[in-house]
Amino acid sequence: MFDNLPLWPARASAGAGNVDALYIFLVLLATFMSVAIFSMILVFALRYRRQPGRTAEQIEGSNALEITWSVVPLGIFMVIFAWGAVIYFQERTPPRDATEIYVVAKQWMWKLEHVEGQREINELHVPVGRDIEMIMTSQDVIHSFYVPAFRIKQDVLPGRYTTAWFRAIKPGVYHLFCAEYCGSQHSGMIGQVVVMEPAQYEAWLSGGNTSGSLASNGESIFQQLGCVTCHRSDTQGRGPSLAGIFGKPVQLEDGRTVIADENYIRESILSPSAKIVKGFKPIMPVFQGLVSEEQLTELVAYVKSLSAPPGAGTKVQESKVQ
Amino acid sequence: MATAVITPERENYLNQEYGIRSWLLTVDHKRIALLYLISITFFFFIGGFFALLIRLELLTPAGDLVQADTYNKLFTMHGMVMVFFFLIPSIPAVLGNFLVPLMIGAKDLAFPRINLLSWYLYIIAGVMMLHCIVTGGVDTGWTFYTPFSTAFSNTKVVEAGLSIFVAGFSSILTGLNFVVTIHRMRAPGMTWSRLPLFIWAHYATSIIQLLGTPVLAITLVLVVFERVFHLGIFDPTRGGDPLLFQHLFWFYSHPAVYIMILPAMGVVAEIVPCFSRKRIFGYKAIALSSIAIAVFGFLVWAHHMFVAGMSLYSALIFSALSYLVAVPSAIKVFNWTATMYKGSISFSTPMLYAFGFIGLFTMGGLTGLFLAALGIDVHVTDTYFVIAHFHYIMVGGAVMGYLGGMHFWWPKISGRLYPEWLGKFAALIVFLGFNLTFFPQFILGYMGMPRRYWQYPPEFQVLNVLSTAGSTILAVGYVLPMVYFLWSMRYGKLADDNPWGAAGLEWQTTSPPPTFNFDKEPEVTWEAYNYDQIPDPAAEEVPVER
Amino acid sequence: MSDSPVALENHGQHGPELRHHFATAQQQRDAASLGMWLFLGTEIMFFGGMFLAYLIYRLWYFNEFAAGSRSLDIKLGTVNTIVLICSSLTVALGVRAAQMGKRKLLVVLLILTLIFGLAFLGIKGVEWYAKYKEHHIPGASFDASDLIRDYPQIHIDPSHEQIYFSLYFAMTGLHALHMIIGIGIFSYLLYHAAKGRYTPEYYTPIDLGGLYWHFVDVVWIYLFPLLYLIDRKPLG
């Protein structure tokens, strides 16, 4: 409702309604409390205004009141906390099998890549009704991917991947903003999300320029850079085989076990000595400075593709708990 | 209070000695308070000027007044100047410095020379910041996020960082002075439970200044080292972590907001009983709430980082704690309001500012509940909603508290009365201008307008125009008091010792006080806010004049 | 050291050091002491930020921290620790000497303290110079290849190694700055002690200076194991 009233953006994602519901509750609560306090002040000020012949009544306090107006607000706050936490949990838990979009932010533009290989700049085409998970990193400073109509926002950091997800429910064109100040053209780093009917989206997908899917590009780089020399598909290589490892636990030399997620793959390429797989020697060369962000994205997509049929998504685990 | 027959030439701290040396080398806390008053007012207008430029640029969606880089410097320096050179010092360094010894019955603060040093450090920091501004400025945002500030910005980050470092030192020394003074220099009979709530508020503030500011100091030092020596502690391309910077930064900068608001709450706790002619409702609750805010305030910093890439579980904890810290503030609001119940209310200028404070702080605080709710914060963080929230508290709250306090204690500080009708008028202008400026920004934020935007999509224009219109009205409201306070120093009516009939030791000495505060050392045998014992000055709204 | 309010009128006889906003010398001493302890609390918070950064990076990059730690000269570090502990001893004895009115002893102890302090700084300079020669100073000329060569069995990432050394220099550098300030303070105290300014009735500056010096010493006692003694056991 109230779509024509400019109080909130369009509700274009599945989660937007939940966010707005809590928001409206809070607006009502805040309005009620503000009006209550303002009117109490007004009423007291007028009713008890200084008048000849009347003196103030000295009242020390009231423990009962203190307890009441501590406990009742606390109770209400805990309800709000829980409600907000539930929404947040949903916001930060992408569904399995979400379609992935890889995002690289840089000063001052958004570069987006579909798994099929479509590349976009400052624009993202998605089909309505599909779960989309964005796997994002920055080439330089911290940015933030913000689509008000979807009620989602996630900072995009250099040196690691962060994720956000949504399911668009309404075709249309919606603002995409950078929401973390990133320098000169921060306010110019805007674009749009184009939500299309599924048929239109398929048409767009096949008509656009494809330079190969992410995974197939990744495979080429894997060959070019010589990764295949050590990471053979059999167990004879000097490096561990990468078939089927994505999303599974990996035993390390130092006894730790980590999950092989996007951040793990990325780190292993840029800083291989950080985590050595058990039973292997630390001989992998360092590729920091030798691969671009896009190439990293494609390599990650390639390794993922070795674990599942292409196109299927897997959840990103955050390997560094902050 | 018996009004002695006094002549205007009676010796007090203002006329005891003349000449610039007697001011620049003073160790009298009251003179130092005035030195601070002049300096922070100067910086308030600098920060305010930047704000006006920002609002003018935002009249239109396109970036057409200044260039993008200039705009980025404007909002950065607006923030830095307002936070570090106005809000943090304001009430403690002006009203606190002036009143803390008077309220507890002491002759001065514990360390008068350190007090003067504190002002000089502030001035040095201020000169550094001014130099930074005029030689190119800084564009990192007052929050200095890395790696932009350490590896990408081409502006004077080091100078700004060092300037704030020095200002922080000034703040630490003020806090140190207050804590020691309150512990060790109370007059006989002035027990902890008889202390005015203004003192409790400044005590809590000082604890935060002592514990929090050094963390900002080391954070800025590390940023400077990183920029100058190319270290890598915050740079992910060199193994560092930008989130570490955010944790360190917000560990101070969240408690810092309580440094900014607690003193204003202390002011309100003095004004409301006076103009209700009754003791404050719930003295103990308010005193303990101040301490609780100081303690809990240190536990919630990462609520600035819910979308920063932090773990979900950390976010849950910080959200829950953020709701806890809201409770003591709510308690205070209820207690102040309850104080008016069955009182004898008068509508003096200080009381109008106190009303404004309670209402606007309530609104600002309630919008904090929105931000602490994780699901909502994802949508509104880094938007104008946050800007509106903190301006409601900082400007609708802290600045109104400061102005209310300045009006309340002006007769004590200057020995003069300001023109009451002008005071009321200015208070009204401030209230109206403020709401028109900042209320539309809540809506802008929820609609999705991000902060720190030089240009914006056209659908946001109407609300931006309203906001800019409000800011011009607000500016007028701020200029007026400066004008009439200055005017009153020469032409204002002379003030009695206690024109408001207020409780508190500061009103038991002359207006203005002598250099050593009391002719005879006070001995306290009564409870705070003993309005049952203090006669109401004649039932008029205008304070009593000699 | 009571907290209760003191009557301002109760002057009595007092020495020239009593400042007039205080009622009694005891009140002045109590205030000074509380002030100094609070200031040291702020210093703990100041160093604390760096200790936090150290904690996090050591958890993440243990190997590099261990290698960097082993490249420090443990002999010189130990000597410096002993030097500082001795200097704290001379400071404590100096406070006692002031309390007992023994001016000459106080002067001697202050001089010894200064000698120890300068010795510490000298040794630190030697260590830093060694780091300079080994190209371990962070920045453009940083080079961790010697460590990578020396420790083939552990895995060293040069950028992580640089973080260890960044923290090493930041922490020891700020500590050294505090030492220099301490030496300045003690030079001032020495000058006035020689002129007989400190008596059993008034030795507050010695007391407070001593507290500062002890604090700087304690910071080093933490820095030494954290920086020098990471994983010093033989490798294998």
Residues recorded for chain C: 236
> Is 50 exceeded by the pLDDT of residue C7?
no
Q: Supply B254's token pair.
A: 């969240």
Give me the mean pLDDT over the B300-310 stretch.
Answer: 96
Residue/partner pairs of B48-53 with CB below 8 Å, 24 or more apart: B48/B475, B48/B478, B50/B74, B50/B75, B50/B77, B50/B78, B50/B81, B51/B78, B51/B82, B51/B471, B52/B471, B52/B472, B52/B475
The predicted structure's pLDDT at residue B455 = 94
A96 and A174 part of one domain? yes
**Across the interface, which of C21, C42, C52 has its CB nearest the CB of B112?**
C21
Chain B residues close to C162, C-beta within 8 Å: 231-232, 238-239
Determine contact, residues B23/B31, Cβ cutoff 8 Å: yes
**Among A273, A283, A284, A288, which would you mutate to test the C interface (most chain C Cβ atoms within 10 Å of its Cβ)?**
A273
* Euclidean distance between CA atoms A293 and B181, whole angstroms: 58
Taking CA atoms, B418 is separated from A47, B414, B496, in Å, by: 28, 10, 13
The predicted structure's pLDDT at residue A318 = 38
Half-sphere exposure at residue C117, Cβ-oriented, CA atoms within 13 angstroms: 27
Mean pLDDT, chain C, whole residue set: 90
Q: Binning pLDDT at 50, 70 and 90, where does residue B8 land?
A: low
A199 and A224 part of one domain? no
- Amino acid of residue A23: Y
A224 and A263 part of one domain? yes
Report the DSSP pairing between strands A172-178 and A191-196. Answer: antiparallel
Q: CA A36: distance to chain centroid?
A: 38
**Which DSSP string corresponds to B430-442?**
HHHHHHHHHHHHH
**Which residue ranges form the domains of chain B, and what is each CATH number?**
29-508 (1.20.210.10)
Give, in degrees to the nearest 5, the angle at Cα C70 between C66 and C72. Answer: 125
Chain A residues close to B306, C-beta within 8 Å: 88
CA-based nearest distance A320→chain C, Å: 10
Provide the domain limits for residue A264. Answer: 214-305
Beta bridge partners of A257: A251
Which residues neighbour B207 within 8 Å (Cβ) at sequence distance 6 or greater? B175, B179, B294
Taking the C-alpha atoms of B28, B33, B34 and B37 in order, what is their torsion angle to the nearest 10 degrees? 160
Report the DSSP pairing between strands A191-196 and A123-127. Answer: parallel
The DSSP letter of residue A252 is B
Q: Is A315 within a domain? A: no
The predicted structure's pLDDT at residue B334 = 96
* Euclidean distance between CA atoms C5 and B195, whole angstroms: 12
Give me the mean pLDDT over the C208-231 stretch.
Answer: 96
Determine contact, residues C190/B260, Cβ cutoff 8 Å: no
**Which DSSP string corresponds to A79-99?**
HHHHHHHHHHHHHT-PPTTPE
* Euclidean distance between CA atoms C231 and C220, whole angstroms: 19
Taking CA atoms, B64 is separated from A12, A175, B59, B451, in Å, by: 32, 22, 10, 18
> Is 80 exceeded by the pLDDT of residue C4?
no
- Amino acid of residue A153: K
A224 and A197 part of one domain? no
Neighbours of chain C (3+ CB pairs under 8 A): A, B
Determine contact, residues B105/B52, Cβ cutoff 8 Å: no
> Is 80 exceeded by the pLDDT of residue B539?
no
The predicted structure's pLDDT at residue A205 = 85
The predicted structure's pLDDT at residue B273 = 96
* Euclidean distance between CA atoms A228 and A172, whole angstroms: 44
Taking CA atoms, B25 is separated from A50, A63, B28, B106, C22, in Å, by: 46, 49, 9, 21, 20
A20 and A169 part of one domain? yes
Give me the mean pLDDT over the A269-278 stretch.
Answer: 86
* Euclidean distance between CA atoms A246 and A261, whole angstroms: 6
Q: Binning pLDDT at 50, 70 and 90, where does residue A95 land?
A: very high
Query: Which residue, of A211, A237, A259, is where some domain finishes?
Result: A211
Query: Which residue, of A191, A211, A231, is where some domain finishes?
Result: A211
Q: Is the peptide bond before B147 cis (omega within 30 degrees of 0)?
A: yes
Give me the mean pLDDT over the B128-154 stretch.
Answer: 96
Determine contact, residues C52/B248, Cβ cutoff 8 Å: yes
Model confidence pLDDT, tens digit, residues C26-70: 999 999 999 999 999 999 999 999 999 999 999 999 999 999 999
**Among B152, B250, B332, B378, which would you mutate to test the A interface (most chain A Cβ atoms within 10 Å of its Cβ)?**
B378
Segment (H or E) for B43? helix B29-57
Cβ–Cβ gap A274/C156 under 8 Å? no
3-class SS of residue A43: helix
The predicted structure's pLDDT at residue C10 = 47
Determine contact, residues B332/B358, Cβ cutoff 8 Å: no
Report the DSSP pairing between strands A99-106 and A131-138. Answer: parallel
Q: Supply A290's token pair.
A: 């030798």
Cβ–Cβ gap A41/B358 under 8 Å? yes
Q: Supply B382's token pair.
A: 């880094």
A201 and A243 part of one domain? no
* Euclidean distance between CA atoms C170 and C139, whole angstroms: 13
Q: Is A318 within a domain? A: no
In the A/C pair of chains, how many CB contacts fall below 8 A? 13
Q: The domain spanning residue A161 has which CATH number?
A: 2.60.40.420
* Euclidean distance between CA atoms B301 and B318, whole angstroms: 8
CA-based nearest distance B293→chain A, Å: 14
Q: Is A312 within a domain? A: no
Give, in degrees to the nearest 5, the angle at Cα A225 between A219 and A228. Answer: 60
Q: Supply B130's token pair.
A: 């001014």
Task: Label residue A284 exposed, middle or buried (CB < 10 Å: 0-12, 13-18, 19+).
Answer: buried
Determine contact, residues B277/A56, Cβ cutoff 8 Å: yes
Angle of helix C103-133 versus helix C74-99 axis, rounded to 10: 160
Q: Is A269 within a domain? A: yes
3-state percent helix, strand, coil for chain C, nearest multiple of 5: 70, 0, 25
3-class SS of residue B484: helix
Cβ–Cβ gap B211/C42 under 8 Å? yes
CA-based nearest distance C60→chain A, Å: 9
Give me the mean pLDDT over the A61-66 stretch.
Answer: 93
> Is 50 exceeded by the pLDDT of residue A317?
no
* Euclidean distance between CA atoms B239 and B47, whole angstroms: 37
**Across the interface, which of B324, B341, B459 has its CB nearest the CB of A44?**
B341
Q: Where are the domains of chain C?
A: 37-228
Give me the mean pLDDT over the A10-19 stretch.
Answer: 94
A274, closest residue in chain B (CA to CA)? B239
* Euclidean distance between CA atoms B410 and B428, whole angstroms: 19
A74, closest residue in chain B (CA to CA)? B327
Model confidence pLDDT, tens digit, residues A31-54: 999 999 999 999 999 999 988 888
A293 and A158 part of one domain? no
Q: Is A58 within a domain? A: no
The chain C residues in contact with chain A (CB within 8 A) are 63, 155-157, 159-160
3-state percent helix, strand, coil for chain B, nearest multiple of 5: 70, 0, 30
A141 and A223 part of one domain? no
A282 touches chain C (CB under 8 A): yes
Q: C224, C236, A320, C23: which is closest to B308 by C-alpha? A: A320
Give me the mean pLDDT over the A138-146 stretch.
Answer: 96
Q: What ipTM does this complex have?
A: 0.92
The predicted structure's pLDDT at residue A312 = 45
> Is 90 exceeded by the pLDDT of residue C6?
no
Model confidence pLDDT, tens digit, residues C69-114: 999 999 999 999 999 999 999 999 999 999 999 999 999 999 999 9
Total domain count, chain A: 2
A273 touches chain C (CB under 8 A): yes
- The percentage of residues in chain C with a pLDDT greater than 90, rounded to a whole number, is 77
* Euclidean distance between CA atoms B465 and C10, whole angstroms: 64
Q: Is A234 within a domain? A: yes
Q: Is the peptide bond before A108 cis (omega within 30 degrees of 0)?
A: yes
Q: To which residue do tokens 């004077």 refer? A: B156
Cβ–Cβ gap B187/C41 under 8 Å? no
Segment (H or E) for A307? none
Q: C24, C10, C7: which is closest to B186 by C-alpha? A: C7
**Among C62, C155, C156, C161, which would you mutate to test the A interface (most chain A Cβ atoms within 10 Å of its Cβ)?**
C155
A132 and A275 part of one domain? no
Q: Supply the CATH classification number for the domain C37-228.
A: 1.20.120.80
Cβ–Cβ gap A271/C157 under 8 Å? yes
Which residues neighbour B22 within 8 Å (Cβ) at sequence distance 6 or greater? none
Segment (H or E) for B106? none
3-class SS of residue B477: helix
Chain C residues close to B509, C-beta within 8 Å: none
The predicted structure's pLDDT at residue A182 = 95
Q: CA A273: distance to chain centroid?
A: 28
Q: To which residue do tokens 């779509």 refer? A: A3
Chain B residues close to C169, C-beta within 8 Å: 229
Convert C6-19 to b/e letters by CB count within 10 Å (16 or more is b): bebeeeeeeeeebb
CA-based nearest distance A251→chain C, Å: 17
A249 touches chain C (CB under 8 A): no
Give me the mean pLDDT over the B190-197 stretch.
Answer: 96
Cβ–Cβ gap B110/C35 under 8 Å? yes
Give me the mean pLDDT over the B89-112 stretch.
Answer: 96
> Is 90 exceeded by the pLDDT of residue A104?
yes
Instruction: Say what the pTM is.
Output: 0.90
A185 and A226 part of one domain? no
Q: Supply B521's token pair.
A: 């050392």
